[in-house]
Amino acid sequence: MFKTCASVCLFLIGSIETVGATPSSGSDRLLKRLWPGDKLTSSYGGVLNPQKAAVDESMPDYSIVPELPSLSDRWRGTIRSVHSKSAAKYVAITLDYCELCTNVNGYQSQVIKYLRDQNVPATLFISGKWMRSHPDIAQQLIVDPLFEIGNHAWSHANFGIAPVDLIEQQVLATQAQYILLRDQIAQTALSIGMGDEMSLIPPQPVLFRLPYGRCNDVSLQRLQHFGLKVIQWNHVGLEGYPATQSACEAFVDKLHSGSIVLLHGNHVPKHTLSFLQKVIPLLRQKGFTCVTVSTLLETGTAVVIQDGYFVKPADNLSLDTQFGFMGTGVRK
């Protein structure tokens, strides 16, 4: 049974470590070799939206996914931010690449181009189905050390109301799709004498983001069992609204060191690029350093609750009736 207990389940976990211990999330050498010059899809300068009919959306065999060690009970729940212990100010920009059963969401290349041009690290929570429908782009993002890849379920199922077997499918099929794409990269790297670079690319994602921010005790227990830390946010970007300079300044004023910002990298909502173009310079003016979520977790103590709401508890419950447990509006 779903229950909202954010108000009573707040506790702090984690440890203080140095940012220098950050795990690698890719290989710049391999990226430049496999996609030299303007071959990176972010150079296209537009929205790439594959034709739905041309996309193979079948779910991969997820029996290939090696088991990650289960997380201890202290990590059970959703991480909304980090109590940073560092004198430096850190913030994690996160972008979701959602894709429901019923659509193919495309790719707003300018967002990634801006982050690359500005050398801004980010954590990308990618739907497994999006990885399958955008394989070349997904491989570029997997190899790029600027970006950390997290799991955003296969097709955006609602983890607050979906049956447990569907939840497991959604998680593991996404891990499998990442592994399949990584295996293809490894074969190419090996063929050009760069197989050693693969040690820099994580074998599979270790972070998860809940579609719609929805969860329940069972889904959080399964994610803990699968060894995936659930990363939500404590600040929602100005998505769906014009990113005016004054609104962006007000947004940055609310951030503190250890904040996690929710954005989307697809072409819907439409204002992510203009938001970033204003917010990143403001963050730098205020002395913030952008880091991936994994790096942010190393800077202090994770704030863990048992809910995944947007701004305040229960503000996402209405999505249950809009999209159903398959995340498509169809309850089957």
What residues make contact with Zn ion under the rule CB under 5 A? 96, 98, 211
Residues facing 78 on adjacent strands: 230, 305
Q: Could you tell me the smallest distance in angstroms from the CB atom of residue 329 to Zn ion?
A: 15
Written as six digits, the tokens of 98 are 């959602």
Q: Could you tell me the smallest distance in angstroms from the CB atom of residue 313 to Zn ion?
A: 19
- The CA distances from residue 197 to 28, 29, 31, 75, in Å, are 9, 8, 10, 31
Q: Could you tell me the smallest distance in angstroms from the CB atom of residue 73 to Zn ion?
A: 27
327: left (phi over 0), alpha (psi -120 to 50) or beta: left
Query: DSSP of 13-33, one letter per residue?
Result: EE----GGGPPP---HHHHHH
Cβ nearer to Zn ion, comparing 154 with 251: 154
Q: Could you tell me the smallest distance in angstroms from the CB atom of residue 223 to Zn ion?
A: 15
Cβ nearer to Zn ion, comparing 65 with 98: 98
Cβ nearer to Zn ion, comparing 98 with 228: 98
Cβ nearer to Zn ion, comparing 78 with 299: 78
Cβ nearer to Zn ion, comparing 30 with 98: 98
Written as six digits, the tokens of 46 are 């537009």
Q: Could you tell me the smallest distance in angstroms from the CB atom of residue 268 to Zn ion?
A: 11
* Beta strand ranges found along 258-310 (DSSP E): 259-264, 288-291, 300-305
The span from the CA of 25 to the CA of 80, in Å, is: 22
DSSP class of 325: T
Query: Distance between terminal CA atoms of the chain?
Result: 19
Q: Could you tell me the smallest distance in angstroms from the CB atom of residue 98 to Zn ion?
A: 3
Q: Could you tell me the smallest distance in angstroms from the CB atom of residue 256 to Zn ion?
A: 25
Residues facing 290 on adjacent strands: 91
With CA atoms as reference, report the closest residue to 238 among 255, 221, 218, 263: 263
Amino acid at site 124: L
The span from the CA of 5 to the CA of 216, in Å, is: 10
Cβ nearer to Zn ion, comparing 112 with 283: 112
The span from the CA of 332 to the CA of 319, in Å, is: 16
Q: Could you tell me the smallest distance in angstroms from the CB atom of residue 239 to Zn ion?
A: 11
Cβ nearer to Zn ion, comparing 34 with 262: 262
Cβ nearer to Zn ion, comparing 211 with 300: 211
Query: DSSP of 85-121, one letter per residue?
Result: -SSSEEEEEEEEE---TT----EEHHHHHHHHHHT--
Q: Which residue is nearest to Zn ion (CB)?
A: 98
